Amino acid sequence: MKSTQQYQEALKESGYNYELEYKSKEETKRKHRARKRNITWFNPPFDLRVKTNVGRQFLKIVTESFPKGHTLQIIFNRNTLKISYSCMPNMKSIVDAHNKKILKAQMPAPETDPCNCRAKQDCPLDGKCKATSIVYQATVKSDNYEETYVGLTEGNFKLRLANHQQSFNKERYRNQTELSKHIWTLKDRNKDFEISWRILSRASSFSNVSKRCNLCTMEKFFIICHPEMASLNKRSELVSTCRHASKFQLMNFAGIT
């Protein structure tokens, strides 16, 4: 309090009219620390193909199984049991994928001929027609106008090309792909055309460990982010399910009926 006058005079000399005053600290009441609630989380994996509202059904089961008055209701209720969908791989999947990547790097790649065309200069993919697990692009040129199509194949590209050529030559397969539809439209108009092929990217197909298909994801990436490279592709292709996961289903194993 004795030094208050000295500071007050300094304020007035500086042009301030503020009056200094002393306020005693009031004793604050001690607050009780809030106890953290013990919460148990249920993390079901998220999948667009599942139509059932898993979250609602789970909470409904909790309410029916532990009603008010139940001995365990204080432990198992909607406040202590929460649900959150899991969109990421679990620790086991991460470790398995890592181990698979390390072991695959240590194994020598099998020596295969990238092209088995009789005339190497006529190879549709520049000497890489036996490439597997690729995203490819087809460019159709006709009358100084071109259309592009993005596709994928898990197996040998040459086998995929044979299927494309079948859809180009046999009219009953004209609606097999958007590319075959365009080719038949040109044929109906008696237009000449040329088709060229190239590899856009390589990616791994569906893995039963990670539950992901990088091949399908890469194809959809080009359709979404580079539409000029896939002018013939339709937006409906983006919601199609992965065709490579079916081989892991139990009903598709040999000997299973």
Which residues lie closer than 8 Å to 214 by C-beta, 6 or more apart?
203, 204, 205
Name the maximum alpha-carbon separation found in the chain: 107
Which residues lie closer than 8 Å to 125 by C-beta, 6 or more apart?
115, 131, 136, 157, 197, 198, 199
Give the pLDDT score at 1.
Answer: 57
**Residue 126 region by backbone torsions, left for phi larger than 0, else alpha for psi between -120 and 50, else beta:** left
Give the pLDDT score at 122.
Answer: 87
What is the residue type of 254? A
Q: Chain-centre distance of CA 53, in angstroms?
A: 21
Segments of the chain scoring below 50 in pLDDT? 256-257
Give the pLDDT score at 63.
Answer: 93
Residue 86, both tokens:
């899991």
Which residues lie closer than 8 Å to 116 by C-beta, 6 or more apart?
129, 130, 158
Sheet holding 194-202, edge to edge: 145-153, 134-142, 194-202
Given a contact cutoff of 8 angstroms between Cβ atoms, the answer to whether 197 and 191 are in contact is: no
Give the pLDDT score at 208.
Answer: 80
Give the pLDDT score at 153.
Answer: 95
Give the pLDDT score at 200.
Answer: 96
Give the pLDDT score at 70.
Answer: 93
For residue 162, which phi and psi values (nearest 5 degrees)?
-60, -40
Task: Kindly tell me the sign of the dihedral angle through the C-alpha atoms of 180, 182, 184, 190.
Answer: negative
Helix (H, G, I), strand (E, B) or coil at 184: helix
pTM exceeds cut of 0.85: no
* Residue written as token pair 């990670």: 210
* Residue written as token pair 């065709």: 243
